[in-house]
Structure 1
Amino acid sequence: MFGNIGWGELVILLVAALVILGPDRLPGAITWVTKSIRQVKEYANGASQQLKDELGTDFEDLRKPLADLNQLRGMTPRAVITKHLLDGDDSIFTGNFDTKKQNEGGPTVQKPSMEKKPSMEKKPSDTALPSGQTPPIDSDAT
């Protein structure tokens, strides 16, 4: 339920609760919060069980589209590319290229080179015009 809250946030919440409530009321507040969370979980489990009992086999028919929607929720552009174009192999994004395929005689994937290639562009000193001369204008490009 609190999967996004880390230890640092919990410590900050406890310190804030200690300052706001004081050491006398803090234990009672913690027990009230834990009981409330437990009760909400029981209500949610009871509601889903009641739906299962009332709908029977139709509950599974309702559950499948919801599961598909939940799967779409996690789809990012990277996940779509990995799933559909790269057959689930995300080594191109992580840089961990599979050497097992090389040993099996499968297709090899080479790691992209990080070397700088010489630039084909002219340096500013090569393109400088003598003073008083106008640059050429390409009418097709403008």
Structure 2
Amino acid sequence: MFNGITFEKLLLIGVLAALLIGPERLPRAAEGLARFVKRAKEYMRGAQSRLRDEMGDEFDEVDWRKLDPRQYDPRRIIREALLDDAPVTPAAAVAAPARAAAPMPTPVGRVVFSADDLPPYDAEAT
């Protein structure tokens, strides 16, 4: 009903409030709650109108459900990011066009590998 809040839960909260606050003070507490909810709605309407004024026509084009932070599941985001791009195979990396820029200078003591050479593998390090 209200994002996980069911009628039974609301009824239980109402009964507990009636018992804790008491029947004499309950009407005043309900009026205070109603005033708070009304002020919160006015505040949200004002914030929405200010946002609409600042964004202009783009406000209606935004998909607000897409920006809901509750939808962000890190596992889903990582899964989608990994599945978006096709994996790069070594053959595809070799077939990639060479860069037009000048080759990087090799530091002293370093070995330069060609595209056909496999880099060294240290079995003890893994």
TM-score calculated relative to the size of structure 1? 0.42
TM-score calculated relative to the size of structure 2? 0.47
Structure having greater relative contact order (Cα 8 Å, sep ≥ 6): 2
